[in-house]
Amino acid sequence: MSENNVIDMKSGEPLPPDFITRVDINKMSDPELDDFIEAIRTRRMANFIIYQQTAAEMEALNQEKAKAKLEKKVEQVAKTCETLDKQFEKLEKQINELRGLRIQAGMSVL
């Protein structure tokens, strides 16, 4: 036997694996054809699972990046709101002082 452990069942001769040689499906029996198709499906499904997992992981990475950006932006907005609240409080205090000065000056209250 050869090192690749693939042999022709009829002649016992070592053969390269099916994925290397072209297979004539017209010469296959129904069970051989079913096995061949099942092998193709299995290889295809294995590759699809790898693709699917990679796509999901990349989506998760994108979501993590988007989530990090979103969290950063939320923090920025919260800081801006805090700053605006302080500025509005300062403005209200100044407006109240202005109203008091208007009253002291004999002007109408707005």
Whether 73 has a pLDDT exceeding 60, the answer reads yes
Q: What is the pLDDT of residues 2-19, one digit of tens each?
A: 455 555 566 777 766 655
Buried b (16+ CB within 10 A) or exposed e, 7-24: eeeeeeeeeeeeeeeeee
Share of the chain above pLDDT 70, in %: 81
Say if residue 30's pLDDT is above 60. Answer: yes
- Output the pTM of the full model: 0.45
| Residues paired with residue 7 on neighbouring β-strands, in sequence order | 14
Complete DSSP assignment for the chain? --TT--B-TTT--B---TTTSPP-GGGS-HHHHHHHHHHHHHHHHHHHHHHHHHHHHHHHHHHHHHHHHHHHHHHHHHHHHHHHHHHHHHHHHHHHHHHHHHHHTTPPP-
Ranges of each domain in the chain: 25-104
List, for residues 36-70, the tens digit of each pLDDT value. 888 888 888 888 888 888 888 888 888 888 888 88
Q: What pLDDT score was predicted for residue 1?
A: 39
Alpha-carbon gap, residue 85 to 94, rounded angstroms: 14
